[in-house]
Amino acid sequence: MQSSSRPQILVLPPPSLYRKLFSPSTDARLRALGDVTFNTQESDLSSNDLAGRVADTEVLITGWRSPKLSDAVLAAAPRLRLVAHSAGSIKFLVPEQALRAGRFAVTTVAAAMGPAVAEMALQLTLMCLRPIHQLDAGLKDGGDWKDLKAQGSGEELAAQRVGVIGAGHTGRHYVRMMRGLGVETWVYDPYLTEERAAGMDVERVTSLDALVSSCRVVSLHAPSTPQTHHMIGRRELTQMRDGAVLINTARSSLVDPQALLDELRSGRISAALDVFDEEPLPLDNPLRTLPNVILTPHVASHTRNTHFRQGELTVEEVERFVKGEPPRYAVTPEMLATMA
């Protein structure tokens, strides 16, 4: 066992990912907090690999591609007190029974990704209402100036009613952007209380049917859970009004893909999609041929700002641990039912 009184910190993200998430200043803050051991290999660790490295670990920093904290790992880590996850979901990482046992705290930096995803959803919303990208492409392809100008530039966002499905980190950021632009905003989330909705200055609706049938824009920000699987199916899509817009920067599983494809092929609605059941999106996927859908390759949260914010929030949680303070973004057993 190590004799140092400084906490023993084990960092699992491989070198390339660590540099992506932890800026030089954040890296220096982490090194000042304890005795830090870094993962020096780019290949993925297995749970068995990790079990052989955690005997003295008090703080474990995990991330994308980190191995599951199996029973063998937890048995080999008697001193473990904090798992600081530098990414979002922890369901693949920490067994539910371990979280409920409460022997160590678990934190997540899902909040770090909310601003970028919400901003991307806003950008896609604006592009669907005012298709500047199509005018740009038309001019660059030699299109006639007068013909393109005659198409107009769409409609203003503030003139629409926007429906938001899911009031988690990202949904709340998107709502704040909508309200800041003076947009009438409806929110559907079974866990949203009247009090919280009032604080957000939104219309809380308890019926998904009412939201999809009444809002010109429907933006998805719900987690992927058994309860939300295909929550936007053929029935909900057919209820959307003519000219409606569907934005999905959350998870592809929220939408029935065949029902969406059929509705988009009809030309009745448009969509902007950042997430897909199969990624990379196959070259022969028919979505690639439709003019009324904007496609992006699952990049909504991928900004330099987001990545460095993930590292910053992770280190802030370790700083709180060292000071004996409770974590800011702790994951509790009660949260599991609504987490992605």
- Kindly report the backbone phi and psi dihedral angles of residue 227, in degrees, each rounded to the nearest multiple of 5, phi listed first: -75, -25
DSSP codes, 252-286 = GGGB-HHHHHHHHHHTS-EEEES--SSSSPPTT-G
Catalytic residue status for 319: no
Q: Could you say which of 251, 307, 309, 320 is catalytic?
A: 251
Residue 214 neighbours by CB under 8 Å, 6+ apart: 161, 163, 186, 241
Spatial separation of the C-alpha atoms in residues 273 and 216, rounded to whole Å: 16
Q: Could you say which of 229, 279, 304, 325 is catalytic?
A: 279
3-state secondary structure of 313: helix
Q: Could you say which of 176, 265, 298, 302 is catalytic?
A: 298
Catalytic residue status for 169: no
Q: Which two tokens stand for residue 45?
A: 């660790």
Note the pLDDT tens digit of each residue in 246-273. Answer: 999 999 999 999 999 999 999 999 999 9
0.75 surpassed by pTM? yes
Catalytic residue status for 328: no
Note the pLDDT tens digit of each residue in 140-189. Answer: 999 999 999 998 889 999 999 999 999 999 999 999 999 999 999 999 99
**What does the pLDDT profile of the chain (340 residues) look like in tens digits?**
444 589 999 999 999 999 999 999 999 999 999 999 999 999 999 999 999 999 999 999 999 999 999 999 999 999 999 999 999 989 889 999 999 999 999 999 999 999 999 999 999 999 999 999 999 999 999 999 999 999 888 999 999 999 999 999 999 999 999 999 999 999 999 999 999 999 999 999 999 999 999 999 999 999 999 999 999 999 999 999 999 999 999 999 999 999 999 999 999 999 999 999 999 999 999 999 999 999 999 999 999 999 999 999 999 999 999 999 999 999 998 887 777 7
Please name each of the domains of the chain with its CATH number.
8-112+304-338 (3.40.50.720), 114-295 (3.40.50.720)
Residue 17 neighbours by CB under 8 Å, 6+ apart: 63, 64, 65
